[in-house]
Amino acid sequence: MQLEQRDKELAAIGASIGCNCRPCIEHHIPAGREAGLSEVELADAVATARSVRNEAIKLLERRVDELLANGNYGSAPVSLGETEREHALVALGTSVGANSHALLREQIAAALEIGLSPGESAAAVRMAAYVQQRASEMTADAARHALDELNGGSGTGLGMERDARARRPSG
């Protein structure tokens, strides 16, 4: 079953907000208008996407706390230089993961300013991009499995590509 363009744009708006992709949302809100979505429908789509994204953040925070033994990870002394370097690496990864072009530029500049080499910064960005790509692939796989399971295991009519990077879904 194929989706109408307006329905595709609703899903794209959700994905754009879910992954914090500014260029994506800058494309898909106007595309939603062109597809016939009203301002009220667009505002509702954005509110729904924000709510779902915020719930996903809460779920992730709970799991992170579990993995850190609810904050009982000790307080080993760390030198300020190590902390700055570690914070710069984490901030680079987070900026890539959040798809924030503006923050990424700021974080690259900050990393270079505190002494990370361009090569180290590039390696951190590559690692973060790899993690982001794998997260996208794993999420697409989980969606396929959920669709199969909820569709009675028939696997029919899902219309999802095996390689999410190959091309944009047509339906």
pLDDT of residue 154: 62
- DSSP, residue by residue, 155-168: --S----SSTTT--
Is residue 117 within 8 A of residue 88, CB to CB? The reply is no
pTM (whole model) above 0.85: no
Task: Give the model confidence (pLDDT) of 85-114 as tens digits.
Answer: 899 999 999 999 988 888 899 999 999 999
- Give 162's pLDDT tier (boundaries 50, 70, 90): very low
